[in-house]
Amino acid sequence: MPVTNETRWGFTVYQKAAAQRLRDAQALLNQGCYWGACYIGGYAVECVFKYAILKLKNKHHLDELHQGTDANPYKTHNLLTLIDLESQLPRNCPELSNPRAPDYPKLILHEWTVDWRYKAPDQLDRAYEEKLIDQAKQIHQSLISL
């Protein structure tokens, strides 16, 4: 199949990437590669958010969601910003119910950053990563079937 803008950036690309990155994160965790597992786990959530936003808006490209000359806010890596951009995202799992509440379990949505590809957080260990991957799985499960 030829690579077109639709096949390259369509929402199914994000859907497939989210599932694959989640499998990659679990494999890294199983090998004791916590830094990589943390980063890839958060990246899986970013992909599933972008999939869900495109699917809900019936669009194929993030560029279709933004008109104007300023930076496209949908091309962010900030997970909370992506949630804020799309009020229609289902909130049917605890990780998405009220992410800005002060008592919210903050792990993946509040702590993950794209900068983890360069420097791991100090508290990184197997228990932390297992919790982060579990949250990523819950978010993935709640959004992937849209």
How do residues 43-100 score in pLDDT, each as one tens digit?
A: 999 999 999 999 999 988 888 888 888 889 999 998 888 988 888 887 777 777 776 6
Asked if 65 and 74 count as a contact pair (C-beta separation under 8 A), the reply is: yes
Contact 81, 110 (CB under 8 A): no
- Write down the pLDDT at residue 26: 95
Residue-number span of the structural domain to which 30 is assigned: 5-143
Q: Are 46 and 77 in contact (CB under 8 A)?
A: yes
Question: What is the reported pLDDT for 17?
Answer: 94
For residue 90 the two structure tokens come to 């289902």
The string of pLDDT tens digits covering residues 114-129 is 888 887 767 677 888 8
Q: What is the largest CA-CA distance in the chain?
A: 48
The domain that holds 97 is classified in CATH as 1.20.120.330
- Look at residue 9 in the predicted model and tell me its pLDDT: 61
DSSP 51: H
Total domain count, the chain: 1
Q: Which of 3-7, 9-13, 86-90 has the lowest mean pLDDT?
A: 3-7
146 vs 7: which has the higher pLDDT:
146
> Stretch 27-43: mean pLDDT, rounded?
91
Quote the pLDDT of residue 103.
Answer: 59
Residue 53 half-sphere exposure toward CB, CA atoms < 13 A: 25
Residue-level pLDDT at 54: 92
Output the CA–CA distances (angstroms, integers) from residue 52 to 18, 21, 132, 137, 140, in the order listed: 11, 16, 20, 15, 10
> What phi-psi label fits residue 120: left (phi over 0), alpha (psi between -120 and 50 degrees) or beta?
beta
- Tell me, what's the pLDDT at 1? 44
What does the pLDDT look like over 96-107, one tens digit per residue?
A: 777 666 655 566
Please give the average per-residue pLDDT across 120-141, as a whole number.
Answer: 83
Report the distance separating Cα 70 and Cα 27, nearest Å.
Answer: 38
Query: Position of tokens 């669009």?
Result: 59
